[in-house]
Amino acid sequence: MRSRRLEARGAEVMAAFEEERDQTLVESCGRLAARGIATSKSALSRFFQRRGITWKRRPATRSSRTARTS
């Protein structure tokens, strides 16, 4: 189910996102709240998913040099 309120202010949400692309969903929710756009992390996640924008959960790490343990 889409959040009509969030979709109605989609241009503002995208503008806030473009200002600083390197932010978490929680940080994005805080920035939007400061602009008067109340939303949840899950609604914001779905909003960005519909637009093909995803977040990496953590940076890629190298493989271990040691042997695998059992």
In a domain, 57, yes or no: no
Residue 64 CB partners (closer than 8 Å, separation 6+): none
**What is the Cα gyration radius of the chain?**
16
Q: Apex CA 56: angle with CA 40 and CA 46, to 5°?
A: 30
* 56: in domain: no
Q: How many domains does the chain have?
A: 1
Q: How many helices (H) and strands (E) does the chain have?
A: 4, 0
Which pLDDT value is given to residue 30? Answer: 92
In a domain, 67, yes or no: no
Q: Is residue 14 part of a domain?
A: yes
Q: Is residue 66 part of a domain?
A: no
Domain residues for the domain of 12 are 4-50
| CA dist., res. 57 & res. 38, Å (int) | 24
Tens of pLDDT along the chain (70 residues)? 567 888 999 999 999 989 888 888 899 999 999 999 989 999 999 999 999 988 766 655 666 666 665 5
The pTM score is: 0.71
Residue 47 is predicted with a pLDDT of 93
The tokens describing 21, both together, are 């692309």
